[in-house]
A and B are shown apart, each in its own frame.
Chain A
Amino acid sequence: MLQLQVTNSPFNEEQVELLNRLLPTLTQTQQIWLGGYISAMTLQGAAAVSAAAPAVFTAPSASTAAAGGTVEPAISREVTVLFGSQTGNCQRLASSLSGKLKEQGFEITVSAMNSFKPNTLKKVENLLILVSTHGEGEPPDNARSFHEFLNSKRAPRLEHLRFSVLALGDTSYEFFCQTGKDFDQKLEELGGQRLSPRVDCDLDYDEQVAAWMEQVITALNGAGSAPAIAEEAVLAAEHAESLQSAYSRNNPFQAEVLENLNLNGRGSDRETRHLELSLAGSNITFEPGDALGVYPENHPRLVDEIIAAMGWNSDERVPLNKKGEEGTLREALLRHYEITVLTKPLLEQAAKLSSAAGLHELLLPDRAPQLKEYIQGRDLLDLIQDFSPWDVPARSFVTILRKLPARLYSIASSYKANPEEVHFTVRAVRYESHGRERYGVCSVHCAERVQPGDTLPIYIQNNPNFKLPANPDVPVIMIGPGTGVAPFRSFLEEREEQGAAGKTWLFYGDRHFVTDFLYQTDWQRMLKDGVLTKLDVAFSRDTEEKVYVQHRLLEHSRELYAWLQEGAHIYVCGDEKHMAHDVHSALISVIQEEGGLSPEAAAAYLDNLQQEQRYQRDVY
């Protein structure tokens, strides 16, 4: 070690002598401890200095604190302990550390990283991380998602955060303690301050762990929370600035895609996408139950086939809309005109541009059934191919096409829980019809051609008829098989944010438990946390007899009726054709059976619920 001298250090002669006497006698543990102790003293000093100069803070909360006569900032006693553990070591250590901190009067939240909601990180002031490293520098499984989050563009600034990292590893590996190092570095980059330096431990870790814990506890006991006041001030300022959004259906917001993932497991015959969009800068907000309008793009292959079939030129300039804006033909067919649906008016307009006898025949008054049959499941390419030849310039043809409409999706997130974000759920529609693969326009666009970083034109469609009860104590029954479950994720996230006391009961169903349980881990966490009181599921293809949500309703008729009698609201979302009808009948059966009513009286009971807005549906 370097010998301290007056010339190579900031110390005077007496200090140098004392230090030179002390330092060589220290064990490694003592050195680490002392290092942490001194950093903690420094932090404490800095906090005291900040507090002594309240002029630094101009925001209201800081002046309130000053007005209250408190010179010293309140020391936060809340500590969040997160662990990432493969074999249980870090978990055990986290629990032991938490015990120690509790003894010291700290309020502790301890959790595996993947059980911790990353959007609450912004609220954390003291964060202690215990994490191991696996294989070639990989995080443990339950740290992976949090690791990804911190390294994503969604990671928040953490200027108010104090943290310390304990890294477990094995020096026989090349990337020793890499995950701990990653967290340590990332938290610093995001603006966090170290409570005490990171400690990297080898297999024989007891001593180093103990030293780290002591340092952390010392630092926590010493450190104040002045920057947290600054943070509150910033939040208050942001809130005051919030404005009404300027975006709408006619002026959609180009929302950046943050996440686009498949909710179905490998081996499923379904593909359901979960998309998360950023609303940053839009001032768009929404309520649970609202829908998201999304403007899609047509499938490029279909567009190209149409252009080829007509012998057009992709780059030809054509009108994009009635306002007279122009663009290339390809652009127009991709983003501006509907090409996947045939309508009678479209065929009539097309007939004016065609001499094909077949088309004119199909439009004769007595051929209505044939026309209807023809339109079903066919698209513009069919029309073009079935009634060729055509000799129409693209400029004229596109004017007979409808504007490409937006698609509406139930919003799957709560704005309160995920500020400046909106999540939605869409199941990819693919089927074969008339000898050709067909694709749902928006769903397949989202599934195949939208990547994080791309944007989607969106707007909010309010739905006042699908709203949580104003009173958070009122019980809520939610029936949402398949993608119908989406709004209930929003409902429950909202209730969680509200700290609502009312009971909640979700009925969910799909084909297979293993691959089709949409948002399974979200529901599991909510059940564990008590946000969701009950969850009943029906997977129709796992058993010999097909089971659906309505069967579960009937199985639980007594309890269901009791909830209704307690004033519960019922919500149904999803398929209109079959599910909503079956569920409606099942509800009548339940009321009839348990309430001892006639079928008519039971139906009236349900109608009455509907009148009172206690039975709301969002079906499609």
Chain B
Amino acid sequence: MANNESAVKPIGGPPSDVEHIKLESNYLRGALVETLSNPITGSLPEDDNRLLKFHGSYMQDDRDLRSERERSKLEPAFQFMLRVVAPGGVATPAQWLVMDELAHKYGNGTLRLTTRQAFQMHGVLKWNLKKTIKTINDTLMTTLAACGDVNRNVMSGPNPYQSEVHAEVYEWARRISDHLSPRTPAYHEIWLDGEKVVDSKEGVEVEPIYGPVYLPRKFKIGLAVPPSNDVDVFSQDLGLIAILEDGKLAGFNISVGGGMGMTHGDTNTYPQLGRVIGFCRLEQVIDLAEKTVTIQRDYGNRSVRKNARFKYTIDRHGLEWFTGELQHRLGWALEPARSYHFDHNGDRYGWVKGVNGKWNLTLYIQSGRIQDTENSKLMTGLREIALIHGGNFRLTPNQNLIIANVSSVKKRKVMELAQQYGLTDGAHHSALRRSSMSCVALPTCGLAMAEAERYLPHLLDKLEPIINEAGLRDEEIIIRMTGCPNGCARPALGEISFIGKAPGRYNMYLGAGFTGDRLNKLYKENIDEKEILETLEPIIHRYAKERQSGEHFGDFVIRSGYVKAVTSGLNFHD
């Protein structure tokens, strides 16, 4: 391996601005204590905002109000998004109630379930951040490392059927999450009134895994339990596929180098799918995750942030190099990958009984937004359920929610509450809508170029008559929309996807695999709603008429020649 080491050098180039900020931040402290208390502005300076991400929060502003406030000589309506880490999306009823209360007290009165099974709260003012974070911490959750150049919320399939396996896989997700959590005392000092810890004791590294500049970019880990690929395991930097033998968890197949984000117009950026490099035993998993992270830490591009994700490191040096380097660092080799099979990546709605005899209700949550509207008192209903629920909640990777582990005794009561408050398993919606996903986008996300969460439901209203006419109401077609190409709703894995380019205009992509095993491809650029509908209508009708038995929409558009199959992110732009 010595040869290997000398042959491959980390990429050169001057470190990016963010690298300097991290280095000078003294393990994520920066000037946050001071700038958080500056009463003249509701914002933070750019440097501290960069650091704040590591603490789980993004500064945003209500973009709907930006122009009118500028005219009114008011600064933008600055507010903060708080993301709460929930490995595997599991939360207790007590935690749910705290999130609900905080959303009303300090947030905008809604909660957002993310595509990575985390909670998001929007609209928190700077002065309320500390109180909010402290309360979250008091309920044994954290915002630390929910954003930033570190390992993010670890995903794991909340599959309610295989309750035993779920419990075991979830436990691994939690352990990986804990192991890769930053160790800096800055979080305690800033948010929890912790004592200022004297750092940098001689020779002792504060961050044994990350070091003082953390990772070059965010790092994502997800654990899938076949046959469900709900976590989109190949979209993860590091994906773990549970291998069950004789009904028992034997270990994981390891997939590396996936990721969704790209930049419009820059073909050096692209979505990529992870590739399976072998099998790892359970007791080896933590070590494997740590060493994978350290390889990215040492070899990731720290000069150009948009080429800094692990997928580019892998593609630059090759899988062979990576497995060699990994083996070198681990001191052992992966076993050959074992066989597995994925059926789908969506959720299975409604009531199901787990093998443990407990009941689970998967609710359809439009775009993951928990709020009360005229039509449904979703937020109130879930609060009422949390008050009587003895099991837990599970946020799904498709932004839905499972009321999990309901005893037979409580099932009736949960059903009644669900009915009373208009909570739904989505049965009355088309399968297309039930298979839809969108990011937050406008008005709070600073990156959005177009609407997503606020628009996708309206687009679906217009697509559903076409789907119905074609007789495809019960056909699951994965449809995803994001307001920018950074990929929060994993748009490169939609059989139909839209990525925002400008208000009301989207790039349309077609042809991803139904099980999350193939990227989609650009079909039309910069089109508006009219063109979207005009383009999709004939394709949908043709699909209805000409599809082969069991053929999914994404496969059909490739067979029919609408788009070429993408076999690797490297030919995504071809």
A→B interface (CB under 8 Å): 114, 134-136, 141, 144-145, 170, 172-173, 203-204, 261-266, 274, 513-515, 517-524, 527, 535-537, 542
Contact = CB atoms under 8 A, between A and B. Distances in A.
A261 B71 contact: yes
A524 B525 CA distance: 41
B67 A144 contact: yes
A537 B42 CA distance: 13
Interface string B49-74: 00000000000000001111111111
Given A513-B42, A520-B74, A523-B40, A266 B68 contact: yes
Contacts of A263: 72-74
Contacts of B265: 170, 172, 203-204
Given A514-B125, A520-B75, A265 B69 contact: yes
A522 B265 CA distance: 37
22 contacts: A135-B505, A136-B505, A141-B70, A144-B70, A145-B71, A170-B265, A172-B265, A172-B526, A173-B502, A203-B264, A203-B266, A261-B73, A262-B72, A263-B74, A265-B69, A265-B72, A513-B125, A513-B127, A514-B77, A521-B74, A523-B40, A524-B40
Contact of B73 (A172, A514, A519): A519
Given A114-B70, A520-B73, 20 more contacts: A135-B502, A135-B505, A136-B504, A141-B70, A144-B67, A170-B265, A172-B501, A172-B526, A203-B266, A264-B72, A265-B77, A266-B65, A513-B39, A517-B74, A520-B74, A520-B75, A521-B70, A521-B73, A535-B40, A537-B39
Listed residue (B72, B75, B77) with the most chain A CB atoms within 10 angstroms of its CB: B72
B65 A265 contact: yes
B266 A524 contact: no
Listed residue (B68, B71, B74) with the most chain A CB atoms within 10 angstroms of its CB: B74
Closest 9 A-B residue pairs measured CB to CB?
A: A203-B265, A135-B502, A135-B503, A521-B73, A520-B74, A265-B74, A519-B73, A172-B526, A263-B72
Interface in B494-521: 501-505
A225 B557 CA distance: 64
B212 to A, nearest CB: 25
Contacts of B75: 517, 520-521, 524
A170 B449 CA distance: 14
A519 B72 CA distance: 8
Interface size class of B (residues with CB under 8 A): 20 to 34
B36 to A, nearest CB: 14
B73 A527 contact: no
Given A134-B502, A173-B526, A261 B77 contact: no
A273 to B, nearest CB: 10
Contact of A527 (B40, B70, B505): B40
Interface string B279-294: 0000000000000000
Nearest to B64: A266
Contacts of A518: 73
Contacts of A172: 265, 501, 525-526
Given A263-B74, A524-B75, A136 B503 contact: yes
A172 B67 CA distance: 25
A265 B67 CA distance: 11
Listed residue (A144, A262, A266, A535) with the most chain B CB atoms within 10 angstroms of its CB: A266
A262 B68 CA distance: 9
A419 B281 CA distance: 78
B41 interface: yes
A265 B68 CA distance: 8
A483 to B, nearest CB: 14
Contacts of B77: 265, 514
Contacts of B503: 135-136
Contacts of B504: 136
B427 to A, nearest CB: 38
A377 B103 CA distance: 43
A537 B75 CA distance: 15
Listed residue (A134, A172, A515, A518) with the most chain B CB atoms within 10 angstroms of its CB: A172
Contacts of A521: 70, 73-75
A145 B19 CA distance: 33
Nearest to A519: B73
Contacts of A515: 74
Nearest to A145: B70
Nearest to B502: A135
Interface of B: 39-42, 65-75, 77, 125, 127, 264-266, 449, 501-505, 525-526
A145 B504 CA distance: 23
Contacts of B65: 265-266
Nearest to A171: B265
Contacts of A134: 502
A156 to B, nearest CB: 21
B42 A524 contact: no
Nearest to A264: B72
A261 B72 contact: yes
Contacts of B266: 203
Contacts of A274: 73
Nearest to B62: A266
Nearest to A134: B502
A136 B264 CA distance: 16
Nearest to A272: B72
A265 B77 CA distance: 9
A522 B73 contact: yes
A520 B68 CA distance: 14
A93 to B, nearest CB: 15
Nearest to A204: B265
A542 B526 contact: no
Listed residue (B42, B66, B73) with the most chain A CB atoms within 10 angstroms of its CB: B73
Nearest to B127: A542
Contacts of B526: 172-173
Nearest to B67: A144
A463 B74 CA distance: 29
A345 to B, nearest CB: 42
B525 A141 contact: no
Nearest to A522: B73
B222 to A, nearest CB: 29
Nearest to A552: B39
B90 to A, nearest CB: 35
A571 B526 CA distance: 57
Contacts of B73: 261, 263, 274, 518-522
Contacts of A261: 71-73
A513 B78 CA distance: 11
B40 A537 contact: yes
A94 B39 CA distance: 31
Contacts of A513: 39, 42, 125, 127
Contacts of A537: 39-40
A266 B73 CA distance: 13
B566 to A, nearest CB: 20
Contacts of A135: 449, 502-503, 505
A265 B71 CA distance: 10
Contacts of B501: 172-173
Nearest to B66: A141
B536 to A, nearest CB: 20
B1 to A, nearest CB: 39
B551 to A, nearest CB: 32
B50 to A, nearest CB: 13
A344 to B, nearest CB: 42
Listed residue (B40, B42, B75) with the most chain A CB atoms within 10 angstroms of its CB: B40
B74 A141 contact: no
Contacts of A523: 40
Contact of A524 (B41, B69, B71, B127): B41
B67 A141 contact: yes
A204 B263 CA distance: 13
B357 to A, nearest CB: 49
Nearest to B77: A514
B529 to A, nearest CB: 14
B435 to A, nearest CB: 29
B444 to A, nearest CB: 15
A343 B240 CA distance: 85
A514 B67 CA distance: 15
